[in-house]
Chain A
Amino acid sequence: MTFGTVLALLGAVLAVVLAGMGSAYGVGIAGQAASGVVSEDPDKFVKVLLVQLLPGTQGIYGLLVAFIALSKIGVLSGKPMALDLTTGLMMLAACLPIALVGLVSAIHQGRAAVAAIGILAKRPDELAKAMLFPAMVETYAILSLLISILAVNGIPLS
């Protein structure tokens, strides 16, 4: 086992951990707001649940990148490759966009989702608009996901 492999694994782990932490926070605060609305009007359950779930995607994106990275370096099949230091660092760097942007964007998306749940509390018919505001934040998670996938995919393993 080489240090490069460790770095690559660290990258995959960070993608899951940071993005997952962000999503946990986002879904968590949105869930608090959603509970408040449902306690007043249980009929809005499905609508607020949809909005609550929106900040959850960053965690999934992190999982996605980690999965691709792990399968690329052979950890998933139980035969990890011996990567040199440079390649390991490259894998780590490639995982960072979704890890960091995932963390921050999920937190902010969670806040936007809380506000959107506020829309639903007052105007339950405006579901589409309420979903759009948090979805705007997600754009940047998607962009970083894209770069992470392309980078992980494009790094040549010797």
Chain B
Amino acid sequence: MSVVAMKKIRICAMKKDRKEVLEYLQRRGVVEIDSDLHIEDVGEDTDTLSGFCRTDTARLKSQYRKRADTADKALEVLEQYVPEKKGFLAGLEGLGTASDEEMQSIIDKRHWFNRMAAGVIANSAKIDACEVEIARCRRNIEGLAPWMEMDIPINTESTKATRVFIGTLPPDTVADTYCGKIDALCPEIKDRYQITFVSQDKDQACIAAICHKSDGDKLENALRETGFVRIAFFSHRTPDGKVKKYNRKIRDNEKEREDILVKFRKYAAYRDTFKILSDYYRIRADKYEVLGSLMQSERTFIITGTCPENQVESIEKDLNSGFNLYFATEDYGKDEPMPVLLDNPRTFAAGEGVMSSYGLPSRTDIDPCAIMTVCYVVLFGMMLSDAAYGLIVFAVCFALLYKFPKMGQNIAKTLRLFMYCGISTMCWGVLFGGYFGDAVTVVARTFMGRDVTVPALWFTPLDQPMKMLVVSLAIGLVHLFLGLGIKGYQLARRHDWVAVISDVLSWYLLIIGLILMLMPTQMFYSITGISMEFSQTMIYASYVIAGLGALIIVFMSGREKKNPFLRVALGLYDLYNVTGWLSDILSYSRLLALGLATGVIAQVINQMGSMAGSGVFGMIVFVLVFIGGHALNMAINILGAYVHTCRLQYVEFFGKFYDGTGKPFKPFRNNTRYVVFGDKVISDNHKEDLVS
């Protein structure tokens, strides 16, 4: 239950070894490398370090990133055209594995595979082009459809002695009277031309007109005046011939597409190769990024970074045995921010995801993960509080964890958290007597005609909501006091006893005193139904406790101020925080509200299911409503319980003691996307990498 202790390390080595040193560190993945190192930070004597500068590796870095992207893109293309058969839960499977030899053989032939990936991308562009072409041809065939009856070439404009006009007229043109219209416009060509209506639809009337050359201009003018537009296709073929040509083109393109798809199906076997290729280039790009941030002189280079204390020794041993270098360590200063790596036992690590969403513990905080995980599980269970739902949540999480042992760390932690939450939900469900709401009672009444109730082990919240409210608030008080206690512990660890008394103990006294004062009153009795008879001494004691707490707060919480009036004024203002405590405690009433919501909606579902009666039909309806309704209820209430438990942790609990300002530890490592890389695989002693 704690944060891993870190040490600063500094390595100064020969430049010729830099790639191997970096590769070693990347493989180990336990050192975070400072990239923004300044010369002044390195040594006391700035002059002797003046020869240091950084190498520009940006070109190589981006080259490798690009190759990783090419492999990724190729994978995407293959996924699009030859989808991999994946289960619904494939996301949980985690990174793949491959033998060292397999990887090595792929990496040795990486240039070849790289070209293959580029080929896949090029082919996908070809498929796109084919599809565009096919669509264009289809569109044109559609456009030619009205002209299919015409048996002369589309762009016929004239013959030896005639002129020909092929085109469209407005859709409202009437074929029988059209010639009369032309005659009226241009009487001198009457009967000296011929107009054929090829087709007519709601968009246009398609015509072909023919006349002697000498009348051509007159006819054209007359046609234009009636709205004639020449055909928009250009071809020396007849419409039929043109359509045939388009169809041939479509067939050709479809064939090409098919051929490429066949190729893709063949390439699909190389999917794993591309994955390894992508990861390989990604690792190298990362390496060059770090390499570019290192300070280097003519012959040497310097690495500074952070390493968990328990790893320092083995790193030092390995480096010293393999290379000729200088290795030094240094402790972190007392208030220096240290990268945070959490190290909790597996059970308590389950809450790390929830906690780090809020923030990681800083140097002065203790790691509250274990305590928070326990609280989370308890509160979540209380909000869902149905034994059957709990069992389902537990079973699903357990099955997933069992089935996918290689899943990513973070998902595994979250699933484990919900698995515990499931157990807790079962316990609270048994205490409050909820099994799919009142399903047992309803089934017994509807289908067996008997009156059965499963008694709650403790009490039924729906029957005694006030009791449940008091229980909720009491749990809230415990939770808040726990948070305050952790604050006290943190302060005590720093030996800040004044703060322990004035910021922690004072509040314990005040709140406990106020509650003791409340207990014997009529109000308390009417809420809880519990009558508390306090002796006069007890009542007196409660005044003293609360008063003492209040006095400490008034005089001590503004202790940083010298001015006594200001100090007391600040103290009084801080005393006003008692309303904050009140609202914090009342906030736990959501335990009651959400718990009731689960139970009541479950009851509504059961009641709706039982409305169809007790026959076979009634049973079928009941089963359907039961499954659908409870699935919905579970989904909504698990979401609600998750959100509101988070809120209670973040706002009420963490608000008492926790900043969450720590920065996460980000080691330089083989940060792969698809495959776990073995230790021995990457060797990279090739000419292309030589950077000066």
Contact = CB atoms under 8 A, between A and B. Distances in A.
Contact of B465 (A126, A135, A149): A149
Interface of B: 354, 357-358, 465-466, 469, 586-587, 589-590, 592-594, 596-597, 600-601, 603-604, 607, 636, 639-640, 643-644, 646-647, 650-651
B600 A145 contact: no
A100 interface: no
Contacts of A139: 587, 590, 647
Interface in A54-69: 54, 56-57, 60-61, 63-64, 67-68
6 contacts: A54-B639, A54-B643, A126-B357, A128-B646, A135-B646, A142-B589
Given A76-B607, A135-B643, A143-B586, A150 B469 contact: yes
Contacts of B594: 142
A132 B650 contact: yes
A78 B469 CA distance: 31
Contact of B647 (A50, A132, A146, A149): A132
Contacts of B589: 142-143, 146
B357 A127 contact: yes
B593 A67 contact: no
Q: 10 shortest A-B CB distances, which residue pairs? A: A128-B357, A142-B593, A142-B590, A64-B600, A135-B643, A145-B593, A146-B589, A135-B647, A131-B643, A146-B593
A85 interface: no
A138 B643 CA distance: 10
Given A60-B597, A67-B603, 7 more contacts: A57-B597, A64-B601, A67-B604, A131-B646, A132-B643, A142-B589, A145-B597
Interface in A84-106: none
A81 interface: no
A110 to B, nearest CB: 15
- What band does the interface of chain A fall in when counting residues whose beta carbon is under 8 Å from B? 20 to 34
A61 B598 CA distance: 10
B156 to A, nearest CB: 50
B636 A60 contact: yes
Contact of B639 (A53, A129, A146, A149): A53
Nearest to A136: B647
Contacts of B592: 146
Contacts of A129: 357-358
A145 B465 CA distance: 12
Contacts of A146: 469, 589, 592-593
A21 to B, nearest CB: 18
A135 B644 contact: yes
A58 B598 CA distance: 14
A153 interface: yes
Interface in A101-158: 126-129, 131-132, 135-136, 138-139, 142-143, 145-146, 149-150, 153
Nearest to A145: B593
Nearest to A153: B465
Contacts of A135: 643-644, 646-647
A146 B589 CA distance: 7
Contact of A57 (B358, B466, B604, B640): B640
Contacts of B357: 126-129
